[in-house]
A and B are shown apart, each in its own frame.
Chain A
Amino acid sequence: MSELLAVEDLRAGYGQGETLHGISLTLREGESLALLGRNGVGKTTTLNSIMGLTRHLGGRIILAGQDITRRTPEARAWAGLGWVPQERGVFRSLTVEENITAVAQPGRWTLETLYDLFPRLRERRGNYGNQLSGGEQQMLAVARALALNPRVLLLDEPTEGLAPIIVQELLAVIRRIVRDEGVSAIIVEQHARKILGLTDRAVVLDRGAVVWSGESDTLAGDAEALGRHLGVH
C-alpha cells in the first residue's frame, strides 16, 4: 500500500467550537502535499489535529496502516510524525545542538547530515535558542523535526515572517528535502505560489473544508481556481 498518511473526515476544534468540518486528505510515500488556503481557514488546525493537539470530534487519522486517532502527541511523534510548529517552538534554554540531540532518533538524519543541510546551524551550534534570528530558528525547527527521522514531515508556514532572502534560502532547502531526499511532507502555506512549484499535490481549504484538491501543477495553471479559492491573481 502506498498510502502513508490518510486523514478521513476529520472533525476537530478548540474548546466548544468546531473548526474543521470533515477534512479528508491523503499523502503517499515520498510525496509532498501543499496545504493551502486563506488566513484562518483551518490549515494550522488541520496540522495540529494530525499531531493530536486539538479537541477531536470525529473522523480518523491513519499513519502507515495504523490508526493513530486516539494517540497522544508524543506517541504520534514516535510513530513517525515530525512536526514543525507555526511559531517554530525552538527550546530557548537549549543550544542549537541540544535542541537536536534532545529528540534525535537513529536514522539517516544525524547531526552531521543535518548540519550539511543547514551549514548555518553548524556555525551556531553552541548558541542558545533565544540567540537565533527568525530564519535560524525556523531552520532549527526543521532540523529538530528531521532528527526524529520521521516518516512524514509536517511544516506549518515555514516562511512566515521571514525576510525574502531567508525565504529563498529556506525554500531551496525544503525543495532539497522533499525533492532530492524524497521526504514525505505536508507543507502549510498561505502564499500558494511559493510552494506549488516544489510540491506534487495540493489541497485547498476554505472555512474548515476541502474545496480543491489535485496536482500542484494543475492548480498553478488554473488561474480561475487560484483566484476563487486563494485570492491569487
Chain B
Amino acid sequence: MTARPDPAASAATDTAAAETGRRVVRTMRRALRWSLPEILFWLVAFASIFLLPGQHLILTEIAILAVFALSIDLILGYAGIVSLGHAAMYGAGAYAAGLYAIHVTGEPLTGLVVGAAAGAVIAFATSFLLLRGGDLTRLMVTLGVAAVLFEIANKAYRITGGADGLQGIWMDPILGRFDFDLAGHTGYVYCLIVLFLLFLLARLVVNSPFGISLKAIRENPLRASAVGIPVNPRLVAIYTLAGAYAGVAGALFTHTQQFISLDALAFQKSADGLLVLIIGGTGYLYGGMIGALAYKVIQDVIANITPQYWLFWIGLLMVVFVLWGRDKPQRIFATLAARLRHRREGRE
C-alpha cells in the first residue's frame, strides 16, 4: 500500500480534497464561460438551417468533416499525437454503422453508438503502438494501420462490398419521426446537432484536469511523467476518445449517404482531415470547423470554375496557406474574444 496521506490527517484531508474539488470546478467554470465569438459562431451555424436551405447537402459534408477534424484536434492539438491514418477509425465507424443498418436495424441513433464503439475499439487497440517513438514513428504507424484496414475491407468484399462499396443501407427516420430526405434537410440538422453535442463534450474534456495534463504531456512527455502525470494511460484514453469521435463522423457519413466506398478508409481521407485542421488551426477546438468550412467552400468554388484542374489549385492554395496563413483563423478568433472581453470588463 502506498496510501500517501497519513491516517491522522485523513479527516482534514477529506475536507481539503473537497475544497480542491470545488476549486477545480470553479476554475473549469471560468474556462468554460462562453465568449461572444463562440456564441456568434454557433448562432450562425444553426441559422444556416433556415437561411441556406439550398446548401444543406454540402453543409452536411462540412459538418461531418468538422467532426472528423475535431477528432484529430483532440489528439494533435491537445496531446500532440501526429497521425496520417485517422481514416482507420472513420472508416471503421462508417462500415460498422452500415453493417449495423443492414443486418440489425436502420435506427440511426443506436447506429451512431455502434460507429463510435467501432472507432473507439480500433483506436484503443492501436493506441499502444503509439506510446513509444517520436512523431515519425507515429506517422508511419498510423499510416500503416489505416492501410491494413483499407486492404482488409477491400479483400472482405463479401462483408464490405469491397471496391464496389457497401450498398443496400436503408435508414429509419430519426427518433421514428424525421425521415432522411433527398435535399438533405434532416441529414444536415442531424449532423449539426451531433457536431454541437460532441463539441460541448470536447470542450468539457479539454478544460478538465485531464485535458490540462494532456497539454503538459504535449509540451514535454518525459517531464510530465516525472512530475506525476500518468502519460501512457492518458494518451491511450484521449486516442480512444478521438477514435470514438472519428467513428461517429463515419457513422454520420453512412447515415446521410447510405452508401460506403473504400474511400472512407483511404489515405486521402486522413490527409483531408489533417489539412482541414491545419487550415483552421489546432488546439482551440474551432479549427476543425472553420477549416472544414473553408476547405469545402474553396474546393466547391474552384471545382465550379475549373472542374478538371481543381486539385492543382487546391494544392497551390495549401502551400501558400501553410507558408503564410497558418494559425491565422485561431489568432483572429483569440484577438476578437480578447478585445470583446476587454470592452465588457471596461464597462463593468
Residues of chain A at the chain B interface (Cβ within 8 Å): 51-53, 64, 66, 72-74, 76-80, 82-83, 85, 89, 91-94, 97-99, 101-108, 110-113, 144-145, 148-151
Contacts and interface: CB of A to CB of B under 8 A. Distances in A.
A64 to B, nearest CB: 7
B227 A108 contact: no
Contacts of B20: 104, 106, 110-112
Interface string B5-41: 1000100110011011001100100000000000000
Given A110-B16, A112-B19, A150-B4, A91 B226 contact: no
B344 to A, nearest CB: 17
Contacts of B9: 108
B315 interface: no
Instruction: Categorize the interface residue count of chain B.
Output: 20 to 34
Interface string B22-66: 011001000000000000000000000000000000000000000
B16 A107 contact: yes
A66 B2 contact: yes
Contact of B228 (A64, A94, A103, A106): A103
B216 A78 contact: no
Nearest to B228: A77
Contacts of B231: 74
Contact of B209 (A66, A77, A104): A104
Contact of B230 (A53, A74, A82, A112): A74
Contacts of A91: 215-216, 219-220, 223-224
B225 A74 contact: yes
Given A106-B16, A107-B13, A148-B227, 18 more contacts: A52-B226, A53-B226, A77-B228, A79-B2, A80-B4, A83-B227, A89-B227, A91-B220, A91-B223, A93-B215, A93-B218, A99-B216, A102-B209, A104-B20, A108-B13, A110-B16, A149-B4, A150-B4
Nearest to A103: B228
B226 A77 contact: yes
Contacts of A77: 225-228
A98 B16 contact: no
B317 interface: no
B212 interface: yes
Interface in B114-153: none
Interface string B185-229: 000000000000000000000000100110110111011111111
A94 B213 CA distance: 9
